[in-house]
């Protein structure tokens, strides 16, 4: 008989209070053992799995996070290649800069020359002897990729296409496009007309950041224009990604026999903007699908993190011999980084500040360094600067601070914290 039962099969085991407590103690011990063994794994999450970058059927290509400037994928990105109509990104950039400076108005009219009217290739279909508004020429360049519109705008801004190409090259130099040379405003083939995927991504990033209102023209899917006395023609934007992917809002296509099929594209998903450059693809469809591969890879496996804002206070430190006793240290620019998804918890930040900070110094002067690491990789290393200027204190205050600093250092007290 077990606990009063006649047959074992008829019995129900009854646990006493002590038995129940002992069982719970055993469960807790097992849980603690598991936590000790796997706690770090649970805390940090499973290791991030990032596949190898896609390999594209193109001569040169590049994928960049527009906010951080981090290059995620590149192949032959420094190779000088003919850009075809990707040139017109710079043509429109120059116009945006002229509009931004007030030297050019969108509603002013440009005269159409014989040279512009006769230019072959893709056209806006302007007519010689007529006048066209600058904003219409810009749409003709950006949406319709019109060679005639590009020449007309170049002549209106600089007096001639050669002079305009010189302006283009000056802007390229300012943007750090070291492997670029323009000889025309259209991308018409010329052995001295070249650029690289790396330079094009610099240009596109500057266009988006510096002239966001102008950049909105690049998302327009069609434009209708008709010269006086002619039937207006509706032409579609050649960038097929505008129809295939709602997150895409630009940028520009290009094609010549020498350049192959080219496409610069940009897209935004959940606040993350990527820019792709594909040069020398084998077909119109290929430049689209290859660009999609880059965008999919970037958005799926990486994320953009805004770690610190510009002029955000990171540390407050003691000032010696100054009119202010303490100041805040921060950054001149925001710290934005791109990391593989799933590695955010691995980020670590450290600050190094000068041992003794003495006045005078100006706002923006570097007084330390902020370093951010992801595992063994340094992802940011930027100066920490004074967020205000501090003038030198009066004579007696300087003497007092010198004495106090002497004893502070003698007794090994941190002079930044006194």
Q: Which two tokens stand for residue 26?
A: 């055993």
State which H helix or E strand residue 342 sits in: none
Same domain, 271 and 323: no
Q: Of 286, 359, 280, give the one whose Cα is nearest residue 80.
A: 280
Residue 393 has pLDDT above 70, yes or no: yes
HSE (side-chain half, CA atoms, 13 Å) at 256: 21
Residue 155 has pLDDT above 70, yes or no: yes
Would residue 85 show up in a list of annotated catalytic residues for this protein? yes
Q: Which of 77, 113, 122, 145 is catalytic?
A: 145
Residue 168 has pLDDT above 60, yes or no: yes
Q: What is the pLDDT of residues 55-104, one digit of tens each?
A: 999 999 999 999 999 999 999 999 999 999 999 999 999 999 999 999 99
The DSSP code sequence of 120-173 is -SS-----TT-EEEHHHHHHHHHTS--HHHHHHHHHHHHSSHHHHHHHHHHHHH
Would residue 296 show up in a list of annotated catalytic residues for this protein? no
Neighbour count for residue 172 (Cβ, 10 Å): 22
pLDDT interval class at 8 (50, 70, 90)? very low
**Whole-prediction pTM value?**
0.84
Mean pLDDT score, 277-290: 97
Range of the domain at 284: 60-305
Mean pLDDT check: name the lowest of 17-26, 273-282, 346-355, 356-365: 17-26
Residue 361 has pLDDT above 90, yes or no: yes
On whether residue 52 sits in a domain, the answer given is: no
Please give the pLDDT value at position 22.
55
Mean pLDDT check: name the lowest of 21-30, 152-161, 292-301: 21-30
Residue 5 has pLDDT above 60, yes or no: no
Same domain, 293 and 342: no
Q: Check which CATH number belongs to the domain holding 318 and give it.
A: 2.60.410.10
Would residue 145 show up in a list of annotated catalytic residues for this protein? yes
Count of structural domains within the chain: 3
The string over 377-396, giving b where at least 16 C-beta atoms fall within 10 Å of a residue's C-beta and e elsewhere, is: eebbebebbbbebbeebeee
pLDDT interval class at 410 (50, 70, 90)? confident
Q: Which of 68, 88, 113, 265 is catalytic?
A: 88
Q: Check which CATH number belongs to the domain holding 64 and give it.
A: 3.40.710.10
The mean pLDDT value of the chain amounts to 89
Query: CA 152, CA 218: separation in Å to the nearest integer?
Result: 19
Mark which of 249, 280, 305 sits at the end of a domain. 305
Q: Which two tokens stand for residue 374?
A: 């992801």
Please give the pLDDT value at position 375.
86
Please give the pLDDT value at position 376.
86
Q: What is the pLDDT of residues 14-27, one digit of tens each?
A: 344 455 455 554 54
Mean pLDDT score, 333-352: 94
Please give the pLDDT value at position 15.
40
Q: Which of 85, 92, 113, 150 is catalytic?
A: 85
Same domain, 349 and 399: yes
On whether residue 76 sits in a domain, the answer given is: yes
């Amino acid at each position: 008989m077990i606990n009063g039962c006649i047959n074992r099969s008829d019995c129900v085991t009854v646990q006493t209070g002590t038995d129940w407590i002992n069982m719970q103690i055993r469960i807790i011990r097992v849980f603690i053992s598991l936590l000790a063994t796997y706690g770090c794994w649970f805390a940090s999450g499973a290791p991030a799995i990032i596949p190898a970058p896609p390999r594209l059927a193109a001569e040169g290509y590049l994928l960049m996070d527009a906010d951080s400037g981090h290059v995620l994928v590149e192949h032959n990105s420094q190779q000088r290649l003919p850009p075809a109509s990707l040139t017109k990104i710079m043509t429109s950039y120059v116009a945006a800069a002229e509009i931004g400076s007030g030297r050019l108005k969108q509603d002013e009219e440009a005269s159409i020359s014989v040279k512009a009217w006769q230019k072959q290739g893709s056209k806006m279909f302007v007519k010689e002897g007529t006048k066209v508004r600058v904003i219409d020429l810009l749409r003709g360049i950006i949406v319709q990729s019109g060679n005639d519109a590009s020449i007309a705008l170049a002549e209106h801004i600089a007096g001639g296409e050669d002079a305009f190409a010189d302006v283009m090259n000056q802007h390229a130099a300012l943007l750090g496009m070291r492997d670029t040379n323009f000889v025309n405003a259209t991308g018409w083939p010329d052995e001295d007309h070249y650029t690289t995927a790396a330079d094009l991504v610099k240009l596109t990033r500057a266009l988006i950041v510096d002239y966001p209102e102008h950049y909105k023209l690049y998302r327009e899917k069609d434009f209708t224009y008709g010269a006086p006395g002619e039937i207006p023609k509706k032409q579609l934007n050649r960038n097929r990604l505008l129809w295939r992917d709602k997150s895409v809002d630009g940028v520009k296509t290009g094609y010549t026999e020498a350049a192959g099929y080219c496409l610069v594209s940009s897209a935004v998903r959940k606040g993350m903007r990527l820019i792709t450059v594909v040069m020398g693809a084998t077909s119109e469809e290929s430049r689209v699908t290859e660009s999609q591969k880059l965008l999919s890879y970037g958005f799926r496996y990486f994320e953009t993190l805004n770690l610190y804002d510009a002029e955000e206070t990171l540390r407050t430190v003691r000032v010696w011999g100054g009119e202010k006793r303490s100041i805040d240290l921060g950054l001149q620019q925001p710290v934005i980084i791109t990391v593989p998804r799933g590695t955010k918890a691995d980020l670590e930040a450290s600050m190094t500040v000068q041992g003794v900070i003495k006045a005078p110094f100006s706002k923006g002067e570097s007084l330390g360094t902020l370093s951010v690491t992801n595992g063994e990789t340094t992802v940011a290393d930027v100066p920490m600067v004074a967020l205000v200027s501090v003038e030198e204190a009066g004579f007696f205050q300087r003497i007092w601070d010198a004495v106090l600093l002497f004893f502070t250092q003698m007794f090994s007290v941190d002079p930044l914290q006194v």
